[in-house]
Structure 1
Amino acid sequence: MVTPARETGIDIRVWREGPCVVVGMAGELDMTAVPRLRAELDIAMEEVRPPRLVLDLAETTFCDSLGLGLLVGTLTRVRDAGGRLALVVANGMISRLLAITNLDHHFETFPTAEEAVAALASRNGGRE
């Protein structure tokens, strides 16, 4: 599903890749985009149990405190459900934000969605 940028300031794509659900977004993750992304993440978390979620932020150009809160809250929810969350981040604003907040030590990060999916698929501990 794609949400037009003119409506929310972001484009969101959701697809199934092997044992994972990938949520890709492009644009700014700010107070206007958080509710839409949260709704998509809620749906994505129900697709696979335990959740194996890849959040592709490679084309995300900005993230405010509400967006960062959504990322941390999603990580907590996924872990509480016995799942795993991987972030795809490019060099830029999001990777710097994770580093300065020390969250880069808490999130599994990858340069591409393919690498994130491969890592979550290979480390599933036999769970389906």
Structure 2
Amino acid sequence: MMVRSWADGRFALLQAVGDLDLTTAPRLRAEIDAVLATEEPHLAIDLTEVPFCDSVGLGVLVSTLTRVREQHGRMVLVVGGGMIPHLLTITNLDRHFEVTGSIDEARQELAA
């Protein structure tokens, strides 16, 4: 998995590419930890290039949402088609996450 991050005004953007599973979740968690330690607690995570996510990866997303909310921030997931939106739906997590279809939409949501 490759993870890139950058600041965009009052929020941070992370882009993940590759499977999000037991072996790669620590990489994403480390990048999230670094961002949340230095940036505003507003975060967009682009998962459009993540074809697979297991329970460990999902756990990273849930724990990140909890941390962001504890810091009175917001988190938006950017998802395309495929596994991630389906996974959020079948686990009923779609009711808890803010989800958009593009980074531009996430920027607009976080700027509002």
Identity across the alignment (%): 50
Q: Which runs of 5+ in 2 are unaligned?
A: none
Report the Cα distance in structure 2 between the residues aligned to 1:27 and 1:36, rounded to whole angstroms: 11
In our comparison, the structure showing a higher alpha carbon Rg is 1
- Mark the runs of 5 or more structure 1 residues left unpaired by the alignment: 1-9, 123-128
Is the strand fraction higher in 1 or 2? 1
Describe the superposition over 1:16-39 as per-residue Cα deviations: whole angstroms up to 9, x where unpaired: 122210010011000111111100
Q: Distance in 2 between matches of 1:105 and 1:31?
A: 24
TM-score by length of 1: 0.85
TM-score (normalised: structure 2): 0.96
Q: Which region of structure 1 is more displaced relative to structure 2, 11-20 or 21-30?
A: 11-20
| Letter aligned with residue 92 of structure 2 | N
Aligned residues: CA RMSD: 0.8
Following TM superposition, the consecutive aligned residue runs of length 4 or more in structure 1 with deviations greater than 6 angstroms are: none
Are 2:13 and 1:36 aligned?
A: no
Find the aligned partners of 2:64 and 2:99 in 1 and give their Cα distance: 14
Instruction: Tell me the residue number matched to 2:82.
Output: 92
Of 47, 52, 55, the residue aligned with 1:57 is: 47
